[in-house]
Amino acid sequence: MARVEGRLLERIQELAAIDEALRTARAGQGALMLVDGPPGIGKTELLTAAITRARGRRMRVLVARGGELELSFPFAVVRQLFEPAVTRAEDAVRDRLLEGAAVHAATVVDPRAASGPAVVEASAVLHGLYWLTANLAADRPLLLVIDDLHWSDPASIDLVGALLRRGQSAPVLLVLAYRPGQ
């Protein structure tokens, strides 16, 4: 009999798809998983299953959620995703994460850098965020989860697009949950 997690009854196919996407990322290739549906159908439960399974496979996991009140704040979802990983890291690790082109991401994800007078173009920030993602995935595969993508700010959506265009060669699984039509 198949093992069923929590409230994920009759979701064997979805759980198998999660496992396959995790295998792909752990094998060094980028992967995308889209979870769509109306409110209350269990999207967040599937995200939780992906998070639990990724952590069980010793992957680095970063999670964010779009929100109606943050739609007008540039990089709100990006901050949720990356700021904890950057700010909780020891200085040497933080320096490694933000080295090279990733330094341009510091104005968004490192509160200490954001207090400076530097203004960085959005394209440079997106490029920096891509390299921050690559740096985070350099030592172990990375799972990026965004719930309620439909409520994400435009700048964060731009990062999702950049990762989709350029992320196939990095061990990163991007899991996005959204309501269709929003």
Average pLDDT of 112-129?
A: 75
**Does the pLDDT at position 4 exceed 50?**
no
pTM exceeds cut of 0.85: yes
Nearest 10 degrees: Cα torsion 128, 66, 51, 113: 30
Going along the chain from its start, the domains and CATH numbers come out as: 12-178 (3.40.50.300)
Geometric angle at alpha carbon 84, from 97 and 120, rounded to 5° = 60
pLDDT digits (tens, 9 = 90+) for 38-71: 888 889 999 999 999 999 999 999 999 999 998 8
Q: What is the pLDDT of residue 41?
A: 84
Q: What is the pLDDT of residue 115?
A: 53
Confidence of residue 114 (pLDDT cuts 50, 70, 90): low
**How confident is the prediction for the chain on average, in pLDDT?**
89
